[in-house]
Amino acid sequence: GESVGLHLPTLSVQEGDNSIINCAYSNSASDYFIWYKQESGKGPQFIIDIRSNMDKRQGQRVTVLLNKTVKHLSLQIAATQPGDSAVYFCAENGGNEKLTFGTGTRLTIIP
Amino acid sequence: DTAVSQTPKYLVTQMGNDKSIKCEQNLGHDTMYWYKQDSKKFLKIMFSYNNKELIINETVPNRFSPKSPDKAHLNLHINSLELGDSAVYFCASSRGRREGEEEKLFFGSGTQLSVL
DSSP B66-106: EEEEETTEEEEEE-S--GGG-EEEEEEEE----TT-----E
Residue B4 forms contact with A (CB below 8 Å): yes
8 Å CB contact of A87 and B48: no
How many residues are listed for chain A in this entry? 111
Mean pLDDT of A94-109: 84
Check: CB of residue B76 under 8 Å from CB of residue B66.
Answer: yes
The bridge status of strand A72-77 relative to strand A62-67 is antiparallel
Lowest mean pLDDT segment, chosen from A53-57, B83-87, B95-99: B95-99
d(CA B100, CA B98): 6
The answer to whether residues A105 and A88 touch, using CB atoms and an 8 Å cutoff, is yes
Q: Cβ separation of B106 and A103 shorter than 8 Å?
A: no
% of chain A residues with pLDDT over 70: 90
**pLDDT digits over A34-55, tens only?**
999 999 999 999 999 999 999 9
Counting Cα atoms < 13 Å in the Cβ hemisphere of A11 gives: 25
Give the model confidence (pLDDT) of A47-78 as tens digits.
999 999 999 999 999 999 999 999 999 999 99
Would you state the pLDDT for residue B58? 80
The residues that bridge with B5 in the sheet, in sequence order, are B24
pLDDT at position B110: 97
Strand A10-14 to A105-110 pairing:
parallel
Q: Average pLDDT for residues B51-69, to the nearest whole number?
A: 87
Minimal C-alpha gap between A42 and chain B (Å): 5
Q: Which of A12, A1, A16 is nearest to A107 (CA)?
A: A12
Among A42, A107, A33, smallest CA distance to B107 is for A42
Please tell me the distance from the alpha carbon of residue B34 to that of residue B110, in angstroms, as a whole number. 10
Instruction: Give the three-state DSSP class for A83.
Output: helix
- Tell me, yes or no, if B55 comes closer than 8 A to chain A by beta carbon: yes
Question: How long, in residues, is chain B?
Answer: 116
